[in-house]
Amino acid sequence: MPLEWAGSSPDLLLVIDRESGEPLRTQVERRLRDAIRGGRLRSGERLPSSRTLARQLGLSRGLVQECYEQLHAEGYLVSRPGAGTYVASGTHLPQDPAKRRAAEPELLADFQSGVPDLRSFPVTDWLWAMREAARVTPASAFSYGDARGSAALREVLAGYLRRVRACVADPEQMVICSGYAQGLGLALHALARSGIRTVAYEDPGSPTTTRSAAAWAGMAAVPVPVDDQGIDVEALAATDARVVIVTPAHQWPTGVVLAPRRRLALIDWAVRRDAVIIEDDYDAEFRYDRDPVGTLQGLAPDRVIAAGTVSKSLAPALRIGWLLCPPGIRALVTVHKHLSDRGSPTLDQLALATLIESGRYDRHLRRMRARYAARRSALVAALAEHAPRVVVTGLAAGFHAVAHLGPAADERAVVAAARERAVGLYGMSACRTSRAAAPAQLVLGFGNVSDDALTAGIAVVGDLLRGDGGGPHGHGRDM
């Protein structure tokens, strides 16, 4: 799709060498021709007017007009009456076929996890909040400001976390960051500065993200197994880790909730080891068939760094997250945040604060809880119809589930066969440190797939999940 430059004539960088002895007209023609053939100027793009380009280059308008006329005659340019001069179609040299990236086929249904319903982003409310924040914000707020983030957002978020997540939340101990990944990196850097050298993480979990963040901070990362009660605290205690990353509200990706005894045991481990818990409050906003679970941070605020974002509640593109830090760590986190980017975008922070204060954020969450609850029911119904032997777990919160395939299942073969049918399925093996594909399980995200696509997609791959779809696996196990 060609770029459309609105308003005045667009600028164009052309370098003219007045000392070379080459005629100026020849130089302009050659550089324009090369830019078009090389793809720097694409088909359909508008060029500056002859008057504008002449002024930019310090040349006469007549010389530029002659260049345009020559390239028009050669088929490189076309003129549109009253609209200007454009690059003609089919004028740039094609890339080497070996270097072309194959276009991804459009999927009938994509069960990618971790992505909310992007079509449901509250555009009207967000635009209102942006306008309202810009209207009332003093000019001084648009300077660099506090690396911890907007004081207004930290105040509002602290109140929200106290009210909704039972956190011990002080705005002075909060640092606004650009999503979970940056927040994790900042926390690990600060902990490394305090002398901690090993971080533990849940397995299955997010091994790639965790290991990358740990390596960036100069730490070693060790996996700790997860069972149906959450992270195995005894196994954790057998490591030399003094920091652990957990998702207690809705473990990623198994969906289990950290059991009460494990919660207390984990805090006890942190006290005895003089360790820190990084609590990723994953999927806490979306709970269905049980009462909400409070944060670990609320039980041990001096031992827990609570991390949260609006990536799941609103959209990942906003890149707004936060860390609620123990007093001894906050200063180091702030220093690393300042060195990283001097702070996250202020106007976006103020808009989020306005959205939360207005009640529109809570209203959006209520609407999305109902939508995701209905969608998970549709997923369960579709699987019951088309693959009744597949066991589904992890549905108490969030917008993903785990499908347990039969004992003879070949997880990777099922995923590959589904892709050939234009359905995106994703295996649990990607979440395991060992990358083992057994037991065969699928992580089915239903946040960003429409109801119709969800039902159609499961119908298309039902025989693969059952085990009678041409060889991906044998008979599924009974429920």
pLDDT digits (tens, 9 = 90+) for 144-182: 889 999 999 999 999 999 999 999 999 999 999 999 999
Are 338 and 375 within one domain? Answer: no
Name the domain boundary from 292, 307, 342.
342
Q: What is the pLDDT, as a whole number, of residue 2?
A: 47
Residue 414, CB-side half-sphere exposure with 13 Å CA sphere: 32
Average pLDDT over residues 295-320: 96
- Please check whether residue 196 lies inside any domain of the structure: yes
Q: What is the pLDDT, as a whole number, of residue 81?
A: 75
- Please check whether residue 74 lies inside any domain of the structure: yes
CATH number at residue 382: 3.90.1150.10
Average pLDDT score, the chain = 90
Q: How many domains does the chain have?
A: 3
- Please check whether residue 15 lies inside any domain of the structure: no
- Please check whether residue 471 lies inside any domain of the structure: no
Are 185 and 274 within one domain? Answer: yes
pLDDT tens per residue across span 436-450: 999 999 999 999 999
b/e sequence 96-107, b meaning 16+ C-beta within 10 Å:
eeeeeeeeeeeb
Are 311 and 443 within one domain? Answer: no
Interatomic CA distance for residues 210 and 227, integer angstroms: 19
Name the domain boundary from 308, 342, 376.
342
Are 182 and 265 within one domain? Answer: yes
- Please check whether residue 16 lies inside any domain of the structure: no
Could you list the residue range(s) of the whole structural domain that residue 438 is in?
109-116+366-466
Are 270 and 332 within one domain? Answer: yes
Interatomic CA distance for residues 193 and 185, integer angstroms: 12
Interatomic CA distance for residues 98 and 96, integer angstroms: 5
Residue 243 has pLDDT above 80, yes or no: yes
Average pLDDT over residues 369-380: 94
Are 210 and 284 within one domain? Answer: yes
* H-helix or E-strand spanning residue 245: strand 243-246
Residue 477 has pLDDT above 50, yes or no: no
Residue 174 pairs in a beta bridge with: 324
- Please check whether residue 259 lies inside any domain of the structure: yes
Residue 457 has pLDDT above 70, yes or no: yes
Residue 345 has pLDDT above 70, yes or no: yes
Interatomic CA distance for residues 85 and 459, integer angstroms: 51
Residue 97 has pLDDT above 70, yes or no: no
Are 239 and 373 within one domain? Answer: no
Q: What is the pLDDT, as a whole number, of residue 94?
A: 59
- Please check whether residue 211 lies inside any domain of the structure: yes
Are 323 and 440 within one domain? Answer: no
Share of the chain above pLDDT 70, in %: 92
For 107, residues 6+ apart whose C-beta sits below 8 A from its C-beta are 422, 423, 424
Q: How many CB atoms lie within 10 A of CB 161?
A: 22
- Please check whether residue 306 lies inside any domain of the structure: yes
Name the domain boundary from 342, 358, 374.
342
Residue 403 has pLDDT above 80, yes or no: yes
CATH number at residue 64: 1.10.10.10
Q: What is the pLDDT, as a whole number, of residue 92?
A: 66
Are 337 and 388 within one domain? Answer: no
CATH number at residue 177: 3.40.640.10
Are 294 and 388 within one domain? Answer: no
Residue whose structure tokens are 């009640």: 359
Interatomic CA distance for residues 279 and 300, integer angstroms: 11
Distance of CA 267 to the CA centre of its chain: 30
pLDDT tens per residue across span 37-84: 888 898 888 889 899 999 999 999 999 999 999 999 989 999 877 778
Are 273 and 391 within one domain? Answer: no
Are 326 and 409 within one domain? Answer: no
CA-atom Rg of the chain in angstroms: 28
Residue 387 has pLDDT above 90, yes or no: yes
Of the listed ranges 6-15, 216-225, 369-378, 384-393, the least confidently predicted one is 6-15
